[in-house]
């Protein structure tokens, strides 16, 4: 998202409470920091001062800086959830469905009936009975393995 040639919006959805306090605080801080990084970015001058423990010591600072420089002003949305529960997760899914519907209405498209979805529906007619029988004859290896795992 940071180094894309176009502005790709990102969403962070950290929970305020969780069972594992120390790990949770690390994840929460990281989620907030990712939103901050998208907002501010990092200049080449800032990146030149970076030391990267995983980079080769022979790598020149300019080469490291090239990979650690990115523009800021990238759109993002941070939604804070009190905690992850079935209700909050369902509300989050409903929010994204609503957002998808409204975007489609504004653009004049049916967001929930695209041609790619139609292909999936057609393929489903063949896969549905296979879920009951377990027959994987003629299927690609990935789909056959998924059917075997589901059963």
pLDDT for 102 equals: 96
Q: Mind listing the pLDDT tens digit for each residue in 63-84?
A: 888 888 888 888 889 999 999 9
Q: What is the mean pLDDT of residues 13-35?
A: 86
Q: What is the mean pLDDT of residues 98-109?
A: 94
pLDDT for 88 equals: 94
Written in H, E and C, the secondary structure of the chain is CCCCCCCCCEEECCECCCCCHHHHHHHHHHHHHHHHHHHHCECHHHHHCCCCCCCCCCCCHHHHHHHCCECCCCCEEECCECCCCHHHHHHHHHHHHHHHHHHHHHHCCCCCCCHHHHHHHHHHHHHHHHHHHCCCCCCCHHHHHHHHHHC
pLDDT for 10 equals: 82
Q: What is the mean pLDDT of residues 11-20?
A: 84
pLDDT > 90? residue 94: yes
Q: What is the mean pLDDT of residues 3-9?
A: 71
| Integer Cα distance of 35 and 28 in angstroms | 11
Q: What is the mean pLDDT of the chain?
A: 87
Tell me the range of 48-57, 59-68, 81-90 where mean pLDDT is highest. 81-90
pLDDT for 111 equals: 84
Q: What is the mean pLDDT of residues 6-34?
A: 84
pLDDT for 1 equals: 59
| Integer Cα distance of 6 and 68 in angstroms | 17
Q: How far is CA 138 from CA 20, 56, 95, 120, 146, in A?
A: 46, 48, 39, 17, 14
């Amino acid at each position: 998202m940071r180094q894309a040639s176009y502005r790709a919006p990102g969403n962070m959805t950290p929970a305020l409470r969780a069972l594992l306090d120390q790990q949770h605080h690390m994840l929460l801080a990281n989620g907030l920091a990712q939103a901050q990084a998208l907002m501010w970015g990092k200049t080449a001058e800032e990146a030149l001062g970076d030391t990267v423990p995983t980079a080769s010591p022979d790598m020149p600072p300019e080469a490291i800086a090239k990979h650690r420089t990115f523009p800021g002003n990238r759109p993002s949305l941070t939604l804070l959830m009190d905690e992850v529960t079935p209700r909050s997760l369902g509300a989050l899914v409903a929010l994204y469905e609503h957002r998808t519907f409204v975007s489609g209405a504004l653009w004049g498209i049916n967001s929930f009936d695209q041609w790619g979805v139609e292909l999936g529906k057609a393929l489903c007619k063949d896969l549905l009975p296979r879920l009951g029988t377990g027959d994987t004859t003629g299927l690609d290896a990935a789909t056959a393995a998924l059917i075997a795992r589901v059963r």
